[in-house]
Structure 1
Amino acid sequence: MMNNQKKVDEGLEYVKNAEKSLKTSFMKWRPDYESAAEQYNKAATCFRNAKSFDQCRDALLKAADCHKQNRAIFYAAKALDQAILVSKELGDLRNVGELANRAANMFQSHGSAESATSTLDKAGKILEAQYPEDALKLFQRAADISQDQDSVRQSAEFMSKVARIHVKLKEYELAADAIRRELGLREQSESYQAAGRLAVALVLVHIARGDIVAAERAFKEWGNYCEAPEVQCLEMLLQAYDEEDPEAAKAALSNPFIKHMDVEYTILARDLPLPEQTLPVINPVVAATSVGGGSVDASSSKADADSGQGNEEDFEEGGLC
């Protein structure tokens, strides 16, 4: 405890030195941003060692601002990247998405696209459990940057995360769009085995949407990338829904292949509504006769109906007289 306080005091001393560097005077017209950034970085290290993460993050943000003012964009982005990790330690994730986007902008301005996607990925993983919508946006941007840099495989990995979050949020229309984009990227990078697994995922998502026609269309379009067990599973599944056979659908969804997919798709398959068999329509006249235990000739039934109709007409003509 004493050692932690000592480190905090040391960090505060560095903060004072940084503030002095930023002051101007009659003989010093411009703040010394470079020295201030260095002092803030040293302060952040002291605060981190003392586990005073709030002060650590504050020092890092000030260091980032000083680097930016000094046009040291890469180092400013690095300071923001560290602030993201400190926010995780604090358990305060409210501004993680904003910090990640700011850092990514700076890395891109510096020409460091790989560092930009790394920061977005890191922040997305931190946010995914508590703030999946924010994480989704970060992964989406990382996918776009990777694709712009012709990193097709990496872009596909980020789109995979986007699709799975959409599934988790039950946003099946958006999930289908993300899977189709990922399929295109997997095809482009010749990752055919991964494309086969995605074809199964796309069919499951369309079934979750309640669109069996789209599910069949997806199988026809992408099923050629599936291996034999996957094809057999999908054919059985689609036939079960087409024939409204809940037992066959349940058996297909229990396939070991589906159970070993990414957890989001496994849960989706587990929770899919099974098809309902359409009950045959029962003739009410026959049903009533069956209850009485006898049978009625069709011609006599017709005659009774005609007789009833005639009585009703006579009643209408004669009135109450």
Structure 2
Amino acid sequence: MICQKTSLFKWKPDLEGAIEEYSKAATCFRTCKAYDLAKNAYIKTAELQAITNSKYYAGKNYEQVALLCKETKHFEQAAELMEKSASMFVEHGTPDSARLVLEKGGKMVEKELPLKAVHLYKKASAIADNEDRPNNAAENIGKCARILINERKLDQAMECLKKEIAFHERSQSYPMIGKSVTGIILVYLHNDDFAAAYAFYEKSFK
């Protein structure tokens, strides 16, 4: 693109101009349903925005590419781009936006790529924890636990349920603790570990 070129009388590329042109191209390609071209244009826009320190807008454009990937059923790439979007929001200093895009990404790929969804939800939970939002942290780690139970990864599910309990304790959401405790007991029972199930019950409800 001519905006990115330099010459004898133009020492610096016009990155802002290039961003504007790539953005226009992305919109046109998307309208025409030329999705691969639209994705490339959005990615170019985001890369240039990251260079010019417009990290928030870079994050929004990576999110747009991810949505296009969802439309074309490229779920692995969609998840990676939602994670990239979140990292831009974190660098910009808007962790809530990062958490929300990770949650959206997890929901986007949960059916097709459940373990990738777990990865995204865990990152969302960690961000919520860092921002002292235990309810959000609990909600996301709880989603991980339920997916892992469905995937028969019970040891990992139990770890998530224990973290969920800790978050609920921090926020004093005592009714929710009971649900997580019940989940752990059921996992123990599924593993035929009746002694551990009873011990955990005694510890939790005494």
TM-score normalized by the length of structure 2: 0.95
- Find the aligned partners of 1:223 and 1:96 in 2 and give their Cα distance: 43
Give the whole-Å Cα distance in 2 for the aligned partners of 1:90 and 1:38.
25
Alpha-carbon deviations, 1:51-98, whole Å to 9, x = none?
222221111001001111212111111110111111101111222232
Q: Determine whether 1:184 maps to 2:128.
A: no
Q: Quote the residue 2:196 is aligned against.
A: 214
> Which of 170, 182, 186 lines up with 1:200 in the alignment?
182
**2:58 is equivalent to residue 76 of structure 1:** yes
Q: Which amino acid aligns with 2:170?
A: Q
The answer to whether the 8 A contact 2:76-2:113 is kept is no
Secondary structure in 2 aligned to 1:130? coil
Higher relative contact order (CA 8 A, sep 6+): 2
Who is 1:104 aligned against? 86
**Length-normalised TM-score, structure 1:** 0.62
Q: 1:10-37 deviations in whole A, cap 9, x for unaligned? A: xxxxxxxxx1211221111221111111
Report the Cα distance in structure 1 between the residues aligned to 2:33 and 2:195, rounded to whole angstroms.
57
- Distance (Å, rounded) in 1 between the aligned partners of 2:192 and 2:21: 60
Q: In the alignment, which residue of structure 1 is the partner of 2:108?
A: 126
Letter in 2 for 1:26: L
Percent same amino acid at aligned positions?
Answer: 33
SS at match of 1:51: coil
Amino acid at match of 2:97: S
RMSD after superposition: 1.3
In structure 1, the residue matched to 2:73 is 91
Match status 1:35 vs 2:17? yes
Distance between the aligned counterparts of 2:58 and 2:160, measured in 1?
33
What is the alpha-carbon distance in structure 1 between the residues aligned to residue 20 and residue 201 of structure 2? 58
1:169 matches 2:151: yes
Supply the distance in 2 between the matched residues of 1:35 and 1:88 (Cα, whole angstroms). 29
Counterpart code for 2:38? C
1:223 corresponds in structure 2 to 205
What number of residue pairs does the alignment pair up?
206
Unaligned runs of 5+ in 1: 1-18, 225-321
- Structure 2 counterpart SS, 1:29: coil
Structure 2 CA distance for aligned equivalents of residues 223 and 165 of structure 1: 26
Q: Provide the rounded CA distance (Å) in 1 between the counterparts of 2:140 and 2:48.
A: 32
The amino acid across from 2:129 in the alignment is: Q
